Chain A
Amino acid sequence: MAELSAQASQPAADARSRSMSEGLFGWLLVAPAMIFIAVIVAWPLAETIRLSFMEAGLGGEKFVGLENYEDLADSRKFHQTVVRTFYWMFLSVGIKLVMGLIGAMLLNAAVPGRALFRVLVMPPWVIPMAIGCIGWLWLYNGYFGVLSGVMMKLGITDGPFEFLAYKSSAFYSAVVTDVWVGTPMVTLFFLAAMQGVSRDLYEAAWVDGAGRWYRFRRITIPQIMPVIVSMALLSAIFTFNSFEIIWILTEGGPRSATTTLIIDTYKVAIGNYKFGEGAARAVIIVVLLAAFSLIYLFFLNKINKRYGVK
């Protein structure tokens, strides 16, 4: 009798203990990753905040309160860097999105050879950025690079043109390289989204006599809008944080023309061992990025609602 009831209650108890342990089990599985991230990201982040109130170098640290921040608030050079960083971000992301959209449309067109073209778009995304930048360094070379060579042949310039030697050409050259690095990913995500749009929609519109452009504007764009919007944010964050491209091409020069916040922070902290001043800049970067993302997500929500996406 006792045996029987024990047996009967066994599965129930099992199920209960299992279902109770689901939360615990979930945490158990997530914990290692969480702890690792905490040590390598959260702790340093907290350290950055603490350091930003210090005067810290290779020697010791001294508490200086808000001094680092006050210095930045007063610095015209820093204001210019902030403006330049946002200009860099908006310009580069804007071009990437437009190119990505055009590229995805082209690669989505049912023409012979498109499987090959799709593969050929990807290399800049796959290879180390530093290596791609070495290629660009060569292209931008005034004496031996192909770009300057073509310009001379066409008579646009009469002598060698060093793309990275002048303030504005260096800046826009860096933008072009950044676009080159970022476009493949954007293109492929847009392409994937376009392939996911139901054919029925197009066919219905086609039967109704809608032209290609109309279908693109009224079906494709709204259907892939959520992907466009999220790629814009992702791409904005990457571009804002972009380090290698500028560092390899110009190290922030000439005369700060390509110095973005990340480059500035790196130079101050790692270049000159002014950890406190660098940390204050890093904190400002985090705050700016977080604010930007929140504002953006707010609009994302609205757009998603409008297009009926959860």
Chain B
Amino acid sequence: MMDRYSKLQMVGIYAALAVFLTFILLPFFEMFMASLRPLEHLFRSPYQFWSDDFSFQAYKDMWVTVPLLGRYIFNSIFIATSVTLITMFFVVPAAYAFARLQFPFKNITLGIFLGVNMFTGAVLLIPLYRVLRTLGLLNTYWAMIVPGVAFLIPTGIWLLRSYLEKIPRELEEAAFVDGASRMYTLRRVVLPLAVPGLIVVSVAVFIGAYAQQFLFAITFNQTRELQPLPAGLFEFIGYQSVTWNEMMAAALVGVLPVMLIFLFLQKYLVAGLTAGAVKE
């Protein structure tokens, strides 16, 4: 009863939703449309909304125009996967400690981790550039993996901690009473129970790692073969003319992996990510 809308209200809601979603989806729609137009048509002015020469040719040609495109996509996935695995290696124990254990300076430590979020890459680029140069890591995969891990650890800890807090304590206490060591309890009791949370947090970290590569790539890496897709895409501009249609096609193909993962897991992801916003 309370939730029922009049016809007019319904129309209003759908109209507002249409405007909102148009704003959100317009760039994707236009990218897709551009990818379908032959280059000659693309460079026709004034803008034409429709034409009859749409084709998927750009999705074939893009691999020729930028021969390393496949490599860039692989690099993006490889870097994001490495970042995810390494990040989780650090995040799992730390998140457990913050969720369950009492230790000195716990709150200050947690605060420091979250404070890291304030210094996004750009502020630390200068010294990081020098540190990576000293360590000989510039122009390697590591130059893009290591900073990526550092900036995702805080988010990871935050997300996994709130998940772990929801697992009932009794099971751990039971294991404890049975004489299991702390490490054994963590490995054999807590982690198996936390698998859904671990998956959600890993996927969130992966999406973050996939998304953040541009800055690290253009700053710390000059080796073309190692470039991830967001940086590699700009090669479509570097050639004699800008092959916009192929660039859009490549961009859309490049977001496909994350979009697919996201679509399958979106329900859990959104619930996990926004857990902090919902009052218990």
- Which residues in A have some Cβ–Cβ distance to B below 8 Å? 14, 18, 21-30, 32-34, 36-37, 40-41, 43-45, 47-48, 51, 99, 102-103, 106-107, 109-111, 117-124, 126-132, 134-136, 138-139, 143-146, 148-150, 152-153, 160, 180, 183-184, 188-193, 195-196, 202-203, 206, 224, 227, 234, 237-238, 241, 243-244, 248, 262, 265-266, 269-270, 275, 278-279, 282, 285-286, 289-290, 293
Known A-B contacts A40-B146, A109-B13, A127-B211; the reply to A23 vs B24 at CB < 8 A is no
Whether B27 lies near A136 (C-beta < 8 A) is yes
B239 within 8 A of A: no
Known A-B contacts A120-B24, A188-B270, A241-B123; the reply to A25 vs B182 at CB < 8 A is yes
Partner of B122, one of A25, A51, A266: A266
Whether B46 lies near A135 (C-beta < 8 A) is no
Question: Whole-angstrom distance between the alpha carbons of A23 and B43 in the complex?
Answer: 66
Q: Which of B54-62, B63-71, B109-117, B194-202 contacts A (4 or more CB under 8 A)?
A: B109-117
Contact with A along B246-280 (1 / 0, CB 8 A): 01100100110011001100100011011101110
Partner of A180, one of B23, B109, B112, B273: B23
Q: Report B136 CB to chain A, min CB distance, Å.
A: 15
B213 within 8 A of A: yes
Q: Which of B11-56 contact A (CB under 8 A)?
A: 13-14, 16-17, 20-21, 23-28, 30-31, 34, 42-49
Whether B150 lies near A51 (C-beta < 8 A) is no
Whether B123 lies near A282 (C-beta < 8 A) is yes
Question: Whole-angstrom distance between the alpha carbons of A180 and B25 in the complex?
Answer: 10
Question: Whole-angstrom distance between the alpha carbons of A113 and B119 in the complex?
Answer: 39
B141 within 8 A of A: no
Which residues of the other chain, B, contact A102 by a CB distance below 8 angstroms?
A: 16, 20
Question: Whole-angstrom distance between the alpha carbons of A224 and B124 in the complex?
Answer: 34
Question: Whole-angstrom distance between the alpha carbons of A31 and B35 in the complex?
Answer: 49
Known A-B contacts A23-B102, A102-B16; the reply to A45 vs B34 at CB < 8 A is no
Which residues of the other chain, A, contact B121 by a CB distance below 8 angstroms?
A: 243
Whether B130 lies near A47 (C-beta < 8 A) is yes
Whether A123 lies near B125 (C-beta < 8 A) is no
Which residues of the other chain, B, contact A107 by a CB distance below 8 angstroms?
A: 17
Interface size class of B (residues with CB under 8 A): 35 or more
- Which residues in B have some Cβ–Cβ distance to A below 8 Å? 1-3, 5, 10, 13-14, 16-17, 20-21, 23-28, 30-31, 34, 42-49, 89-91, 93-94, 96-98, 101-104, 106, 109, 112-113, 116-131, 146-147, 149-150, 153-154, 157, 176, 179, 182, 207, 210-215, 219, 229-231, 233, 244, 247-248, 251, 254-255, 258-259, 262-263, 266, 270-271, 273-275, 277-279
Q: Report A224 CB to chain B, min CB distance, Å.
A: 8
Whether B258 lies near A127 (C-beta < 8 A) is yes
Q: Report A116 CB to chain B, min CB distance, Å.
A: 10
Whether B277 lies near A196 (C-beta < 8 A) is yes
Whether A237 lies near B118 (C-beta < 8 A) is yes
> Which residue of chain B has its CB nearest to the CB of A276?
B126
Which residues of the other chain, A, contact B98 by a CB distance below 8 angstroms?
A: 30
Whether B106 lies near A26 (C-beta < 8 A) is yes
Most chain B CB inside 10 Å of its own CB: which residue of A110, A117, A138: A138
Whether B150 lies near A192 (C-beta < 8 A) is no
Return 16 A-B CB contacts under 8 Å, by A number: A37-B153, A103-B20, A109-B13, A110-B5, A123-B24, A126-B262, A128-B229, A129-B211, A134-B248, A139-B26, A149-B47, A188-B270, A192-B270, A262-B123, A265-B123, A265-B126
Whether A27 lies near B251 (C-beta < 8 A) is no
Which residues of the other chain, B, contact A135 by a CB distance below 8 angstroms?
A: 27-28, 30-31, 248, 251
Whether B93 lies near A29 (C-beta < 8 A) is yes
Which residues of the other chain, A, contact B213 by a CB distance below 8 angstroms?
A: 128, 130
Question: Whole-angstrom distance between the alpha carbons of A22 and B176 in the complex?
Answer: 12
Question: Whole-angstrom distance between the alpha carbons of A293 and B114 in the complex?
Answer: 12
Question: Whole-angstrom distance between the alpha carbons of A123 and B45 in the complex?
Answer: 30
Known A-B contacts A127-B259, A128-B210, A132-B27; the reply to A269 vs B125 at CB < 8 A is yes
Whether B101 lies near A282 (C-beta < 8 A) is no
Which residues of the other chain, B, contact A145 by a CB distance below 8 angstroms?
A: 30, 47
Q: Report A142 CB to chain B, min CB distance, Å.
A: 8
Question: Whole-angstrom distance between the alpha carbons of A94 and B70 in the complex?
Answer: 40
